[in-house]
Structure 1
Amino acid sequence: MLKKLMAKFGVGAAKVDLRLDRPGYRLGETMTGVVRIEGGNVEQKIADLRAVLMMKAYVKGQEVTKAVQAFPVRSNFTVQPKPYSTEIPFAFELPEGLAMSTPSIQYYLHTKLDVEMALDPTDLDTIQVLPPERVERVLRALERLDLRQKPDSGKLTPYGQAFSFFPGTPLGFSLKELEVIFFSAPGELKLLVELDLAEGWLRREKDYRAEIIVPESLLTEGQDEELSRFLLDTIREYATNPEGIPYVSLAQYQTGQYGHHRGSGMGGMIGGMAAGFLGGMLLNELMFGEDEASAEEMSEEEGMDMDTDFDFGGFDDEL
């Protein structure tokens, strides 16, 4: 009787341990591994066993934790007393649209045994969310150009995950900083970029926004050097002739062509844009929070331009 009572408070209770086959997975890949359960001092009835993918991000200098998705493993079974142990295999598909892991964005799996009428044993395991291969190829291509990521690169913005670069060595033109947001649509990868250029004899900095459409042929294996050359040539063209940057309407990302419009105002825009953007999956929740702030309040607070011009209100504006 004493053992049963103690187990209810977690002393001598069953233990749970999730073990991933790999420390990291790409978006859309299947996470695999086993959940190991070891019996405690007494028999215990388990109502449910599941793992929840959690995201921890730093938003406006504060740590915010969100549940991404729950993965059921098994329900309604009994764990016998020790030395009983068992391993239950699992296969969870990593959702699309998440931001990749960076110092400011982290993920972990929270595994929980729901024990009837007792304290629930839990387990926490970090997991690296890796970028899609096409995005990784572009990041490597920029690295080969000695464009180095800033310490806060990979932060979340109202338009997805933004990566910030600065030239490690002179490129031969006036680029001070480059920010990139990735947008993926069927058959193409777009880079929505902001170029920070030093202009005039006073070298005053001015921002320009542009779109780079990366040909699919350059995103295949063996095209690394060609991809780097294409990016360098395009960035150089924009930097040396910023007034010639083609006009791009943000409306194409807001509605029909690349996303699904969900209502009006900023809330609808973000909902529609999130579908194709790296890091877009939880933007609504992270932007508006549980208090469901209005689109108007948020746009005023962030100082964002809600016109359909190609203007992010500054990639540096974090959520």
Structure 2
Amino acid sequence: MSFFNKMLASVGIGSAQIDTKLEKDRLKPGEMISGIIEVRGGNVEQNIDSLYLNVYTNFIRETDDRKVTDVANIGHFFISESFTIKPGALKEIPFSFQLPYDTPVTYGKTKIWVATGADIKSSVDPTDKDYIKVDPGNLAAAVINSIYDIGFRLRNVDCEAAPRFLRTSLPIIQEFEFVPYSGPFRGKLDELEMTFFNQSEHQVDILMEVDRKARGLTSLFSEVLEMDESKVRLTVTSNDLANMKHKLQDVISRYTH
């Protein structure tokens, strides 16, 4: 019977089960993710070489002139070294790690999840997946709210493979696409695209693409040739919070003529 149970465990039947329980499932980049991993023994004694957590997100990449959905690992965290779990036993392992500051927010179709993995010799490794909601950090939220106040609305949010010049700690970037519906830029801009990177608690870099609206034949040719877009790179800090709307409006205004 014991040999039969080992054979079943080797293909994942009656083997150890894992279940990750998060303290909370709504966070901001830079916050600590805490919780407990429960490991429950199966029908046979098993040696677990390691426990680890990975944070994943979905993103869009282009291949052969097609856009396909892929998955990016944005954080790998080692939790526990080797231990043995007895049949039917329950072991609880607490954990805590920091969510990377450049973690995308769960806007639009962007999803973030924590996947738990365990390495077990001569067996199918058990896994567990927990989805979390990620809100913008304080600075990013202030920027987005200021863009709303200026008269833009959010049209689309996507994660994409990061170009080489923007590749920092993560292989992907998140792009926010805004369109003006009121205020000083209605009729002057087609859209405003924005990406946050190099984020920290008190500072964030922004790459902004200002897409001017075509007016007249010359502007029309410029739009066709994609010469009507201006890329702007700027940095905002906690010191800009009180004046964020005016700072962003001033920057955008420079590229509307």
Paired position in structure 2 for 1:193: 208
Query: Which secondary structure state, in structure 1, belongs to the residue aligned with residue 81 of structure 2?
Result: strand
Query: Which secondary structure state, in structure 1, belongs to the residue aligned with residue 182 of structure 2?
Result: coil
Distance change (3 Å), C-alpha of 1:135 and 1:114 = same
Paired position in structure 1 for 2:156: 151
Paired position in structure 1 for 2:239: 217
Q: CA RMSD in A?
A: 2.9
Q: CA deviation at 1:178?
A: 0.9
Aligned letter for 1:167? Answer: P
State the distance in 2 between where 1:37 and 1:92 align: 19
Measured against aligned partners, the alpha-carbon deviations of 1:52-74 in whole angstroms (never above 9, x if no partner) come to 22333221211222333332222
Counterpart pick for 2:15 among 13, 16, 24: 13
- 1:75 aligned to 2:77? no
| Unaligned segments of structure 1, at least 5 residues | 243-319
Counterpart pick for 1:31 among 27, 30, 33: 33
Contact map agreement 2:48 2:84 (CA 8 A) in 1:
yes
State the distance in 2 between where 1:38 and 1:122 align: 13
Contact map agreement 2:110 2:158 (CA 8 A) in 1:
no
Measured against aligned partners, the alpha-carbon deviations of 1:90-115 in whole angstroms (never above 9, x if no partner) come to 01222344444444543322212222
Aligned runs of 1:45-124 on 2, under 5 Å?
45-60=47-62, 61-82=67-88, 84-124=89-129
Query: Which secondary structure state, in structure 2, belongs to the residue aligned with residue 137 of structure 1?
Result: helix
State the distance in 2 between where 1:116 and 1:188 align: 45
* More strand by percentage: 2
Q: CA deviation at 1:130?
A: 4.0
Paired position in structure 2 for 1:163: 176
State the distance in 2 between where 1:113 and 1:11 align: 15
Contact map agreement 1:4 1:42 (CA 8 A) in 2:
yes
Aligned letter for 2:210? Answer: L
State the distance in 1 between where 2:198 and 2:114 align: 26
State the distance in 1 between where 2:118 and 2:26 align: 24
Paired position in structure 1 for 2:42: 40
Query: Which secondary structure state, in structure 2, belongs to the residue aligned with residue 209 of structure 1?
Result: strand
State the distance in 2 between where 1:68 and 1:215 align: 24
- 1:176 aligned to 2:190? yes
- 1:139 aligned to 2:156? no
| Unaligned segments of structure 2, at least 5 residues | 167-172
Contact map agreement 1:53 1:70 (CA 8 A) in 2:
yes
State the distance in 1 between where 2:190 and 2:177 align: 11
After alignment, is 56-65 or 188-197 more displaced? 188-197
Distance change (3 Å), C-alpha of 1:127 and 1:38 = same
State the distance in 1 between where 2:159 and 2:123 align: 41
State the distance in 2 between where 1:207 and 1:98 align: 27
Stretches of 4+ moved more than 6 A in 1?
none
State the distance in 2 between where 1:9 and 1:190 align: 48
State the distance in 1 between where 2:196 and 2:104 align: 10
Distance change (3 Å), C-alpha of 1:49 and 1:199 = closer
Contact map agreement 2:151 2:185 (CA 8 A) in 1:
no
State the distance in 2 between where 1:211 and 1:69 align: 26
After alignment, is 84-93 or 62-71 more displaced? 62-71
Distance change (3 Å), C-alpha of 1:177 and 1:78 = same
Query: Which secondary structure state, in structure 2, belongs to the residue aligned with residue 238 of structure 1?
Result: coil
Query: Which secondary structure state, in structure 2, belongs to the residue aligned with residue 191 of structure 1?
Result: strand
Paired position in structure 1 for 2:169: none
State the distance in 2 between where 1:149 and 1:85 align: 47
Contact map agreement 1:166 1:176 (CA 8 A) in 2:
yes
TM-score by length of structure 2 reads 0.76
Paired position in structure 2 for 1:292: none
State the distance in 2 between where 1:119 and 1:194 align: 47
